[in-house]
Amino acid sequence: MNQVTFRWRSPLFNIVQALITLAVALLMGALVIQVSGKDALGAYRTLFTTALGSRLSIADSLLASTPLIFTGLATAIAFRAGVFNVGVEGSLYLGAFAAAWVGFTWTALPGFLLIPLAFLAAGMVGGVWGLLPGYLKAYLRVDEIVTTIMLNYVAILFTSYLVNYPFLAPGLANSMSPKIVPAAQLPRLMKPSQLNLAFPIALLCVLALWFLMRRTTLGYELRMAGDNPIFARWAGMPVARTILQVMFISGFLGGLAGAGQVLGVNYRFVDGFSPGYGFDGITVALLGRNTPLGSLLAALLFGALRSGGSTMELFTDVPRDLIRVLEATIIFFVSAQFTFEFLRRRRALQDLSAS
Amino acid sequence: MPYLEMRGITKIFPGVVANDRVTLTVEQGEIHALVGENGAGKTTLMRILYGMYRPDAGEIFLRGRRVEIPNPQAAIALGIGMVHQHFQLVPSLTVAENVELGRESRRFFLVDREQAIARVGALARRFGLAVDPTARVADLSVGVQQRVEILKLLYREADLLILDEPTAVLTPQETQELFQVLRRLRDEGRTLLFITHKLGEVLALSDRVTVLRRGRVTGVLETDRTNEEELARLMVGREVKVARRLQAASIGEPALRVEGLVVRDERGLTAVNNLSFTVHRGEIVGIAGVEGNGQRELLEALAGIRPLVQGRIWLDGREIHHLPVRMRREAGLGLIPEDRTQEGLNLLASIEENLAAVHYYRPPLSQRGLLHPAAISGFARKLISLFDIRVTSPTAPAAVLSGGNQQRVVVARELAADPSLLIAAHPTRGLDVGATQAVRRELLRLRDRGLGVLLISADLDEILALADRILVLFRGQVVGEVPAEQATQEMLGLMMAGHRPETLQADQEAR
């Protein structure tokens, strides 16, 4: 019977499934627009042209995708290993501050040293931050969902303290750090868009993570432990060590997301600057089925929706909130799928043990 | 007119025909055995009869009348009762309370305990079921709990009793007692449907047999006019070679030595109590015992999954009790865990990845943390042909394999590490007859090649067929050790119930 209950899914199947999810979400969105007495087709046309209609709008979409690629990857690797790290937002804030600090402190360094250093500092800080809940889970079996959610507040409020007191930029009304030196600012790729070097770095991370998950022993271990931790233990895999490594990498990528925004867009650390990139990473990873490539595609999609949505508001009477409705619908379907899959798998296991 | 007739029952699950035009006829007052290998469709058919599944085609007649059975409540109303493999009792309640649960005798809105006890007691006496209605279910042995389940059905006035592999959890003595109860029920006019894959039980108990293979009926036989060979052939579809140890072991050095082992279970209770034994190279030592007497905890402690409270373990003369799982494996320990779908395999991962699971981190499969996909494929291909694993593709997930082939994957992987000691826990559980014999032959070959094998099994036939020495585990302790030549089913059965061999002898002498 186990041939039946555990059906194998080809990659094509996953893509088709994701596309169906997207189509249904767009349909629901259309319904919402139409019901509120507006022109759905027109809104979507505007959305499409503002997101992808010109070189510049494409650049803006890619810009909006950049932090989502990082946080999507950060979440995907953790989820794939069965570690439910929802603390990417915290790593992002700490990483962002670390990058800014390098950028406004080590002012004498040239750019080709300063930029890698800033990214590295951001990643390390974010990664070490991830080790804390990782350690609690691996060795003391403390539930990581709870700890990572709580630690987000600690990280966000701590960086808020830093830029309100010790590192408050003099002469400014808002809570933000001093500006980073020009040498630390990431080069723009397609002016006047703000699209910058962080985007290709994010693409490199996609490749690196694909390689890590498919071609390294750590990747093998994390996939096995994610599928079936009991099996991993019986096979003698170092499950606790794997959790620590995964949490470090996840936090590292979260830190890079923060660095990308600071070095490429804001040029300083601004209190509360993230609209929830870290949490968006969860949606991105789930829609991308916890694979690096899938997360990239999902991040590009959400980036386009966001970038298009904010401009759409300017040209039509459809509010930007519609984009939120679309995203929420996608999240709804993805999580429904996820729950369904989970229940089916549990049923299958029960059937197996009962037969 | 037959009591029950299921005609042309077909049930299709996605991708599999579980029942293919199955016809089952059961006469009033007979014990009818339904036999077949795992996956033959026995349980599906019974679930249809009990209203848990709807058939895709076919009809059910009860006493000549066509009936619809949409749910178990309807089945119960029609006088059909089922004893499931997993008992459905409330441990903290008494026997009488469990039996009456949902149908309490009431007096002024209060449950009338006195009357409940009296009625349940009377019912038990009428059918010769030795059960104390005031006892708490949690305090009862598995065999007695099963009687409570039967009592529950009788209380609900079931005429047709379905028993789903009722002997799986019983000692041989308890099995004999169960059979007596079932015969008595038959003599009282009840009809019994008995699901099993143990042929000896079929011959000992039933009046007639229906054999299923791959969802189809392959034979309906009078028990008097058949034998084990014929039944096995109908079940499997071909002749089956039975694995049995022939010559005595040529014993070598000690491979595994355990001394004063104490292990606790999840609840913190002592599950393995001061256990000591040795397994030599070239012998199979069988650990017999009713399940739940410390086997699982012993296995986990030996594997390194569960911490020891006390005791020492040596492998090839080297102390390993302080080592993690991986280092024990590197020291020469091979493990075939109890549950291949959870502990032995990652069903979602590919067959290749499963075969590599204890080898992947070392050359040639990887170097400095980098996997060599080509080396892993080659390694997997070699094992697949060496162990004759039937796969469509090595990159398909392990879930698509049959149970027997899944177990072959586990065995192949463990043996590829060239262990000096192999621990096999219930290695043939859930496997069909053919796959069972293949695994047993493999274990015997390993023994002859000079491996030490520790065989943990609840199946006495398996222990008797393979083991050179037998240790009987009862409540975490060895009640006795018997060389294979002197072991009999009866003797092991008594020991599994906690009787020491010395007292057995004394009993015999006293007679």
Q: Is the pLDDT of residue A354 over 50?
A: no
Burial environment of residue A345 by CB neighbours within 10 A (0 to 12, 13 to 18, 19 or more): middle
In this prediction, residue A224 has a pLDDT band, given cuts at 50, 70 and 90, of very high
The pLDDT tens digits of the residues spanning B426-445 come to 998 877 777 788 889 999 99
What's the CA gap between B263 and A96, in Å, rounded?
50
Contact yes or no for A8 and B396 at CB 8 A: yes
Candidate from A34-38, A203-207, B283-287 with smallest mean pLDDT: A34-38
The pLDDT tens digits of the residues spanning B378-398 come to 999 999 998 888 888 899 889
Tell me the torsion sign for CA atoms B149, B151, B156, B158: positive
Quick one: which of B141, B142, B186 has its CA closest to B161?
Answer: B186
Contact yes or no for B38 and A2 at CB 8 A: no
Q: Rounded mean pLDDT of chain A?
A: 88
Contact yes or no for B85 and A6 at CB 8 A: no
* pLDDT given at position B110: 65
For every residue of A130-161, which 3-state class applies, written as one string? Answer: HHHHHHHHHHHCCCHHHHHHHHHHHHHHHHHH
Q: Tally A–B CB contacts below 8 A.
A: 105
The pLDDT tens digits of the residues spanning B481-493 come to 999 888 888 888 8
- Order the strands of the B284-288 sheet from edge to edge: B333-336, B421-425, B452-456, B284-288, B469-474, B477-483
Q: Evaluate whether B447 touches B420 at the Cβ level (below 8 Å).
A: no
Long-range contacts of A112-120 (CB under 8 A, 24+ apart): A114/A181, A114/A183, A114/A184, A115/A183, A115/A184, A115/A186, A115/A197, A115/A263, A118/A180, A118/A184, A118/A259, A118/A262, A118/A263, A119/A201, A119/A256, A119/A259, A119/A263
Q: Is the pLDDT of residue B62 over 50?
A: yes
The pLDDT tens digits of the residues spanning B76-122 come to 999 999 998 778 888 888 898 888 887 766 666 666 778 888 888 88
Give the best residue of B42, B47, B327, B343 to mutate against chain A (max A CB count within 10 A): B343
H helices of A36-86, in order, are: 40-52, 55-80
CB of B274 within 8 Å of any CB in chain A?
A: no
Q: Is the pLDDT of residue B75 over 70?
A: yes
In this prediction, residue B505 has a pLDDT band, given cuts at 50, 70 and 90, of low
* pLDDT given at position A303: 93
Angle between the A277-287 and A88-105 helix axes, to the nearest 10 degrees?
Answer: 130
Q: What angle do CA A162, A163, A168 make, to 5 degrees?
A: 120
* pLDDT given at position A340: 67
Q: Evaluate whether B339 touches B405 at the Cβ level (below 8 Å).
A: no
Contact yes or no for A215 and B371 at CB 8 A: yes
* pLDDT given at position B171: 78
Q: Rounded mean pLDDT of chain B?
A: 88
- Ranked by mean pLDDT, the top range of A5-19, A266-280, B171-185 is A266-280
Contact yes or no for A223 and B38 at CB 8 A: no
In this prediction, residue A355 has a pLDDT band, given cuts at 50, 70 and 90, of very low
Rg of chain A (C-alpha set): 21
What does the CA dihedral A294, A299, A304, A310 come to, rounded to 10 degrees? Answer: 150
What does the CA dihedral B197, B199, B205, B210 come to, rounded to 10 degrees? Answer: 60
Give the best residue of B347, B372, B402, B429 to mutate against chain A (max A CB count within 10 A): B347
Q: Which residues between 171 and 230 in chain B have a beta carbon less than 8 angstroms from any beta carbon of chain A? A: none
The alpha carbon of residue B109 is apart from the nearest alpha carbon of chain A, in Å, by: 38
- Order the strands of the B80-83 sheet from edge to edge: B80-83, B160-164, B191-196, B31-35, B208-213, B216-222
* pLDDT given at position B509: 58
The alpha carbon of residue B399 is apart from the nearest alpha carbon of chain A, in Å, by: 6
Of A4, A234, A354, nearest to B16 by CB-CB distance is: A4
For residue B14, cis peptide bond before it (omega within 30 degrees of 0): no
Fill in the DSSP letter of residue A177: P
Contact yes or no for A2 and B347 at CB 8 A: yes
CB of B399 within 8 Å of any CB in chain A?
A: yes
pTM of the predicted model, to two decimals? 0.78
Both tokens of B390, joined, read 């039937």
Higher pLDDT, A7 or A177: A177
* pLDDT given at position A35: 87
Q: Which residues between 315 and 334 in chain B have a beta carbon less than 8 angstroms from any beta carbon of chain A? A: 324-329
In this prediction, residue A352 has a pLDDT band, given cuts at 50, 70 and 90, of very low
Of B361, B371, B400, nearest to A3 by CB-CB distance is: B400
Closest CA in chain B for residue A354: B85
3-state helix, strand, coil in chain A (%, to 5): 75, 0, 20
CA B412 and chain centroid, separation: 23
Partners of residue B32 on adjacent β-strands: B193, B208
Number of Cβ atoms within 10 Å of the Cβ of A48: 14
Both tokens of B393, joined, read 């593709």
Contact yes or no for A6 and B348 at CB 8 A: yes
The alpha carbon of residue A139 is apart from the nearest alpha carbon of chain B, in Å, by: 14
Both tokens of A5, joined, read 């209950």
CB of B341 within 8 Å of any CB in chain A?
A: yes
Could you give the percent of chain B with pLDDT greater than 90?
Answer: 52
Of A1, A224, A354, nearest to B349 by CB-CB distance is: A224
Of A3, A217, A234, nearest to B337 by CB-CB distance is: A234
Higher pLDDT, B240 or A124: A124
What's the CA gap between B261 and A252, in Å, rounded?
44
The alpha carbon of residue A314 is apart from the nearest alpha carbon of chain B, in Å, by: 48
Of A4, A238, A352, nearest to B341 by CB-CB distance is: A352
Residue B37: phi, psi to the nearest 5? -75, 175
Residue B239 identity: E
Contact yes or no for A236 and B38 at CB 8 A: no
Quick one: which of B367, B444, B371, B382 has its CA closest to B412?
Answer: B382
What's the CA gap between A273 and A276, in Å, rounded?
9
What would the mean pLDDT of A250-255 be, rounded to a whole number?
98
* pLDDT given at position B430: 73
The pLDDT tens digits of the residues spanning A139-193 come to 999 999 999 999 999 999 999 999 998 888 877 777 899 999 999 999 999 889 9
Contact yes or no for A220 and B360 at CB 8 A: yes
The alpha carbon of residue B329 is apart from the nearest alpha carbon of chain A, in Å, by: 8
Number of Cβ atoms within 10 Å of the Cβ of A59: 21
The alpha carbon of residue A218 is apart from the nearest alpha carbon of chain B, in Å, by: 7
Higher pLDDT, B507 or B339: B339
The alpha carbon of residue A232 is apart from the nearest alpha carbon of chain B, in Å, by: 8
Q: Evaluate whether B263 touches B308 at the Cβ level (below 8 Å).
A: yes
Q: Is the pLDDT of residue A336 over 80?
A: no
CB of B85 within 8 Å of any CB in chain A?
A: yes
Residues of A with Cβ-Cβ distance to B341 under 8 angstroms: 2, 349, 352-353
* ipTM (interface predicted TM): 0.86
* pLDDT given at position A205: 98
* pLDDT given at position B188: 87
Residue A135: phi, psi to the nearest 5? -65, -45
What's the CA gap between A270 and B318, in Å, rounded?
60
Q: What are the domain boundaries of chain A?
A: 15-348
Angle between the A239-261 and A88-105 helix axes, to the nearest 10 degrees?
Answer: 50
What would the mean pLDDT of A233-256 be, rounded to a whole number?
97
Q: Is the pLDDT of residue B61 over 80?
A: yes
* pLDDT given at position B431: 76
What's the farthest any 2 CA atoms get from each other in chain B? 78
Residues of A with Cβ-Cβ distance to B402 under 8 angstroms: 3
CB of B353 within 8 Å of any CB in chain A?
A: yes
Q: Is the pLDDT of residue A338 over 70?
A: no
Contact yes or no for A8 and B399 at CB 8 A: yes
Contact yes or no for A217 and B396 at CB 8 A: no
* pLDDT given at position A128: 98
Both tokens of B201, joined, read 């039980």
In this prediction, residue A1 has a pLDDT band, given cuts at 50, 70 and 90, of very low
The alpha carbon of residue A227 is apart from the nearest alpha carbon of chain B, in Å, by: 7
What's the CA gap between A85 and A250, in Å, rounded?
8
What's the CA gap between B506 and B409, in Å, rounded?
47
Which CATH number is A15-348 given?
Answer: 1.10.3470
Higher pLDDT, A124 or B175: A124
Closest CA in chain A for residue B18: A1
Contact yes or no for A230 and B373 at CB 8 A: no
CB of B45 within 8 Å of any CB in chain A?
A: no
Q: Evaluate whether A221 touches A80 at the Cβ level (below 8 Å).
A: no
In this prediction, residue B506 has a pLDDT band, given cuts at 50, 70 and 90, of low
Closest CA in chain A for residue B358: A235
In this prediction, residue B507 has a pLDDT band, given cuts at 50, 70 and 90, of low
What would the mean pLDDT of B241-268 be, rounded to a whole number?
85
CA B326 and chain centroid, separation: 29
Q: Is the pLDDT of residue B128 over 90?
A: no
Both tokens of A50, joined, read 């503002």
The alpha carbon of residue A206 is apart from the nearest alpha carbon of chain B, in Å, by: 18
Contact yes or no for B15 and A3 at CB 8 A: yes
Q: Evaluate whether A124 touches A102 at the Cβ level (below 8 Å).
A: no
Quick one: which of B162, B165, B161 has its CA closest to B40?
Answer: B165
In this prediction, residue B55 has a pLDDT band, given cuts at 50, 70 and 90, of very high
The pLDDT tens digits of the residues spanning B2-18 come to 999 999 999 988 767 88
Closest CA in chain A for residue B326: A236
